Amino acid sequence: MRKLIFIIVLIFLTVAPATFSAAPNNGKYRYNDPRLGEREDVSNKFTFVRIMFGEFHTGWPLGDGPIGWSHDYPEAGLHFTKILSEVSKIPINLDMNEYIFRFDDPDLFKYPLAYLCEVGDMDLTDEEVAGMREYLLRGGFLLVDDFRGSWSMQNFADYVRRAIPEYEIKELDVSHPIFNCFFSIKSLDDARSYARYKPTFFGVEDKNGRLMMIINYNNDVSDYWQWSNDPFSPIEDTNTAYKFGVNYVFYALTH
């Protein structure tokens, strides 16, 4: 275990993987709202970051109603990083809302794991598709969550094919290392269904067999993170969701 912790710390020290518009500004990617992008470089510790796409509005919490990519923000990230710090020795930035990036923001590459949700609504520019490709091939890892139905999967798969056409989305089973790299998950059926849909897990591997993304299809682990402090939220469901999330982080930081 000490050897694994040392490896994780070494990674952080040595590897740095719209109604509102965003544009480069003196070499720094500029957003027209101060809540977006990197406010200071905190990449020396694990930081939970999120991908945005499409329109940005000025309301609650980041839109006039919870627009797709902002679902479960910021509670899910705050709760998850707290649990991650309790079960591991990973250096973590706690008690801060996750940074929000577009795929074509170069600062994204400093952060090895990024959260992306509601991809059925995803609408990317050519520049963002190119940024998605660069992030993944440089060693970045995407946690794709909180979406359901064949139409949503088709929309997301189309962007994956545009970004990394040489690689394929494939279904994962419980024998994959991502489900056993920290907690040993015995059955993928432990994941709770999203409405009437059966949770299924997909991934995309690079040429070396490294998983570049985990796709929680018909699943929503972050919803259980968000509501884990609600006394009416079933503890087994939230514990299971945290186990999946912790495994995802450990896999991302060690592969």
Exposure of 16 in the CB half-sphere (CA atoms within 13 A)? 9
pTM (predicted TM-score): 0.86
pLDDT digits (tens, 9 = 90+) for 201-216: 999 999 999 999 999 9
Mean of the per-residue pLDDT values of the chain: 86
Among 45, 46, 20, smallest CA distance to 35 is for 20
Query: What is the arithmetic mean of pLDDT over 100-116?
Result: 97
Please check the confidence at residue 8 and state whether its pLDDT lies above 50. Answer: no
Q: Are 22 and 30 in contact (CB under 8 A)?
A: yes
3-12, 177-186, 216-225, 236-245: the lowest-pLDDT one? 3-12
Dihedral of alpha carbons 255, 86, 145, 32, sign: negative
More confident of the two residues 189 and 43: 43
Q: Count structural domains, the chain.
A: 1
Instruction: Output the pLDDT for position 32.
Output: 79
Q: Is the pLDDT of residue 38 over 70?
A: yes
Q: What is the pLDDT of residues 157-188, one digit of tens each?
A: 999 999 999 999 999 999 999 999 999 999 99
The burial of 167, by beta-carbon neighbours within 10 Å (0-12 exposed, 13-18 middle, 19 or more buried), is given as middle
- Three-state SS letters, 51-86: ECCCCCCCCCCCCCCCCHHHCCCCHHHHHHHHHHHH
Least confident of 39-48, 218-227, 232-241: 232-241
Percent of the chain at pLDDT > 90 equals: 68
Neighbours of 193 (CB within 10 A): 13
Domain hosting residue 54, numbered range: 2-254
Residue 124: which pLDDT band, with cuts at 50, 70 and 90? very high
Confidence of residue 19 (pLDDT cuts 50, 70, 90): very low
- Identify the CATH number of the domain in which residue 95 sits: 3.40.50.12140
- Residue 215: its pLDDT value, please? 98
